[in-house]
Amino acid sequence: MQLSTHYPQKRAFVTGAASGFGLALCKALARDGWALGLADINDQGLADAASQIEALGGRPLSFILDVSDAEAFQRAAASFIEQAGGVDVVINNAGIGVGGLLEETSLDDWNATISINLMGVVHGCLAFVPPLKRAGSGHVINVASIAAVAAGPYMAAYNTAKAGVLGLSETLYSECKDAGVRVSVVMPSFFKTNIATTSRGNEAARLMTEVLIRRATYSADEVAAYTLAEAARGTLHIIYPRIAKRIWHWKRLLPGHYFRTMLKQARNTARFVERVKKDG
């Protein structure tokens, strides 16, 4: 793995590591013998993940962590650095899904989405960027989504949080580069994962997310492999698969056409939601 060439001590801290994309990233690194700080709020899932990582040749260090808790994140970061002898790669991946119209999304759902999907990344950066800068080396990989730029309907809270992750990552890219620290932001479209199981919002929005994930043709393992390869190249915007890249360029080159298409999508989504509500 090219990332191991850049960081031969092979020490990474990953949030949301118990399942889905986070676990796929950890498994890819474990196959190359990395020491891995596995952070997740799911204690049983974390134990299962640690067993898988060890079986693949990785060295797991587990942390039960709520990423919305800044002080807990600082403690976990300090503990991992002490146990692993430092840190080379930090992957801020933990997140939840949420869907629904703006006015149908409760403040509780807004607060949960921002505190986990955005502030969880902020807390990870605050905990790890200073020691990475002091070491003069390392890589921060923040997981956003193509939703950060797509701004699709019925996803206001999720889109807003992921757009914040994009803005934070682009800012850090400039702030960290001269200190020897690389920054990447990952923006995939839907791929096969279990995010629907942690989705908030109404039932129609959850079902819509499940449909989109079922239709996805890419696995978490494929996205993880692409992400780590691009990170090794120092890529800032890691966008995958092809449909996500098309959205990235389409909105910038043809914004009028793009938003007319989004309006059609909003109307189609509204009809889907009404059918779900009618069917109970």
Find the length of the chain.
Answer: 280
Catalytic residue selected from 7, 154, 158, 218: 158
Return the structure tokens found at 102. Answer: 């703006």
Q: Alpha helix locations (H) across the chain?
A: 2-6, 20-30, 43-55, 70-84, 107-113, 119-135, 147-150, 156-176, 203-215, 220-232, 242-253, 255-279
158 is catalytic: yes
Please report, as a single letter, which amino acid is at residue 219. Answer: S
Cα separation, 138 vs 89, whole angstroms: 6
Return the structure tokens found at 123. Answer: 């807390």
Question: From the CA atom positions of the chain, what is the Rg in Å?
Answer: 18
pLDDT (average), residues 111-123: 98
Q: Tens digits of per-residue pLDDT, 178-233? A: 999 999 999 998 775 665 456 666 665 666 666 556 665 788 999 999 999 999 99
Tell me the CA distances in angstroms from 206 to 20, 112, 258, one per residue in order: 17, 16, 25
Tell me the CA distances in angstroms from 132 to 13, 77, 119, 139, 182, one per residue in order: 12, 11, 19, 8, 10
Cα separation, 72 vs 127, whole angstroms: 10
Q: How confident is the model at residue 96 (pLDDT cuts 50, 70, 90)?
A: very high
The full set of domain ranges for the chain reads: 2-241, 250-280
CATH number corresponding to 2-241: 3.40.50.720
pLDDT of residue 271: 83
Q: What is the mean pLDDT of the chain?
A: 92
pLDDT of 69 > 60? The answer is yes
